[in-house]
């Protein structure tokens, strides 16, 4: 097994591949010589990143699809096969949160009647469904569509993107934490299901990375940290947010066909967040 060139010419689909972390995954894989298909709702944004990779000598295409919409995924599948060939590796990177899937209180307080307070009891079904659909169904559906290419071939794998909130649910963030826990669970289930076919399934659980998704939660307009941002850093032994390329080595390790006996694991990359009890 070739540790150095194991990813060369592999066809890799990255859902959410033009997002902050997704673009990091895409560039890291393209740097290894992989042919990357960048899938996102915004096809233009995906193609712009593909053009950057092509101008640096790589092979890439941008495809527009919604990870919750099977028909659009099937269309993207055909376009990827025609342009790059059969898919070897799938990175399920699309995901995110929604304010309607979160409470605004950390602890329930029956005396608290503050205006605009969003307790567990008032959580909106639509918001909860949105978060479950995007994260869980948005991981399962692309796997159904793209993993079909992996049957009967060697060196294929799937990498799901979970979160540290799957291990320890984050305060307020009820739907996202539960949906990411479902992704970790699905990762193990799929790893068993596909084991005899040799398709490996693992997950990467990022800690806290500053991205568009959480920038306003973690930083103020002047760039200083919000109370929540400060709290997170005080609970992260390494004392900083992650940078997208902090994930590169774990991504490449889990995707490299040389990691042929590694399946069904969920790896946290979190600066020590999960190990820290706070005392
Ligand atoms: N940022 C963090 O600290 C952090 C921590 C843990 C896990 N994650 C996870 O990492 C992944 C990437 O997140 P990010 O922080 O880079 O966020 P991001 O918002 O920058 O990227 C998400 C990408 O997914 C795309 N997307 C959203 N809905 C989609 C849909 N229905 N169909 C297709 N594409 C869709 C978006 O357009 C975007 O390009 C997500 O799964 C997120 O939950 C992020």
State pLDDT tens for residues 25-75.
Answer: 999 999 999 999 999 999 999 999 999 999 999 999 999 999 999 999 999
Q: Is 123 within the bounds of a domain?
A: yes
Tell me the CATH number at 141. Answer: 3.40.50.720
- Check pocket membership of 22 for ligand 1, CB cut-off 6 A: yes
Q: Is 156 within the bounds of a domain?
A: yes
Distances in Å between the Cα of 251 and the Cα atoms of 102, 126, 128, 157, 230 are 29, 33, 29, 12, 28
Q: Is 138 within the bounds of a domain?
A: yes
Q: What distance in angstroms lies between residue 1's CA and the mean position of ligand 1's atoms?
A: 32
- Check pocket membership of 40 for ligand 1, CB cut-off 6 A: yes
Task: Report whether pLDDT(4) > 80.
Answer: no
Q: Is 74 within the bounds of a domain?
A: yes
Per-residue model confidence as pLDDT tens digits over 177-211: 999 999 999 999 999 999 999 999 999 999 999 88
User: Counting Cβ atoms within 10 Å, is residue 39 exposed (0-12), middle (13-18) or buried (19+)?
Assistant: buried
Per-residue model confidence as pLDDT tens digits over 249-277: 999 999 999 999 999 999 999 999 999 99
Q: How many CB atoms lie within 10 A of CB 193?
A: 12
Pick the catalytic residue: 130, 136, 146, 176? 176
Number of C-alpha atoms within 13 angstroms, CB side, residue 108? Answer: 5
Between strands 89-92 and 11-15, the pairing is parallel
Q: How far is CA 60 from the centre of its chain?
A: 19
Q: What distance in angstroms lies between residue 266's CA and the mean position of ligand 1's atoms?
A: 18
Rounded Cα distance, 248 and 80, in Å: 24
Q: Is 43 within the bounds of a domain?
A: yes
Between strands 59-64 and 89-92, the pairing is unpaired
Task: Report whether pLDDT(2) > 70.
Answer: no
Which ligand 1 atom is the nearest neighbour of the CA of 214?
1
Which ligand 1 atom is the nearest neighbour of the CA of 18?
39
The terminus-to-terminus CA distance of the chain in angstroms comes to 44
Q: Is 110 within the bounds of a domain?
A: yes
Quickly state the pLDDT bin for 217 (edges 50, 70, 90): confident
3-class SS of residue 40: strand
Catalytic status, residue 176:
yes
| List of residues 6+ apart from 69 with CB closer than 8 A | 141
DSSP H helices, the chain, are 20-31, 43-55, 70-84, 125-132, 138-146, 174-193, 215-218, 227-234, 248-255
Q: What distance in angstroms lies between residue 94's CA and the mean position of ligand 1's atoms?
A: 4
Q: Is 224 within the bounds of a domain?
A: no
- Parent domain of 189: 11-211+245-269
Q: Is 232 within the bounds of a domain?
A: no
> How many domains is the chain built from?
1
């Amino acid at each position: 097994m070739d540790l150095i060139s194991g990813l060369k010419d592999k066809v890799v689909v990255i859902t959410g591949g033009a997002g902050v972390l997704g673009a990091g995954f895409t560039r890291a894989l393209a740097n290894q010589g992989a042919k990357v298909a960048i899938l996102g709702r915004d096809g233009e944004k995906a193609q712009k990143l593909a053009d950057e990779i092509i101008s640096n000598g790589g092979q890439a295409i941008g495809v527009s699809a919604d990870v919750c919409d099977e028909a659009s995924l099937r269309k993207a599948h055909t376009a990827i096969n025609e342009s790059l060939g059969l898919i070897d590796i799938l990175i399920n990177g699309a995901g995110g949160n929604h304010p309607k899937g979160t409470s605004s209180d950390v602890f329930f307080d029956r005396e608290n009647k503050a205006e605009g307070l969003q307790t567990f009891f008032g959580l909106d079904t639509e918001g909860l469904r949105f978060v479950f659909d995007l994260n869980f169904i948005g991981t399962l559906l692309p796997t159904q569509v793209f993993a079909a290419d992996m049957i009967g071939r060697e060196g294929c794998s799937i990498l799901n993107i979970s979160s540290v909130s799957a291990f320890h649910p984050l305060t307020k963030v009820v739907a996202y934490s539960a949906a990411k826990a479902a992704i970790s669970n699905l990762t193990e289930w799929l790893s068993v299901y596909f084991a005899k076919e040799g398709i490996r399934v693992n997950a990467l659980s990022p800690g806290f990375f500053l991205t568009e998704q959480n920038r306003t939660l973690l930083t103020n307009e002047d760039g200083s940290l919000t109370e929540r941002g400060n709290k997170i850093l005080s609970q992260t032994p390494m004392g900083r947010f992650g940078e997208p390329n902090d994930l590169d080595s774990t991504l490449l390790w889990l995707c490299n066909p040389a990691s042929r006996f590694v399946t069904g694991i969920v790896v946290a990359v979190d600066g020590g967040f999960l190990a820290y009890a706070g005392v």
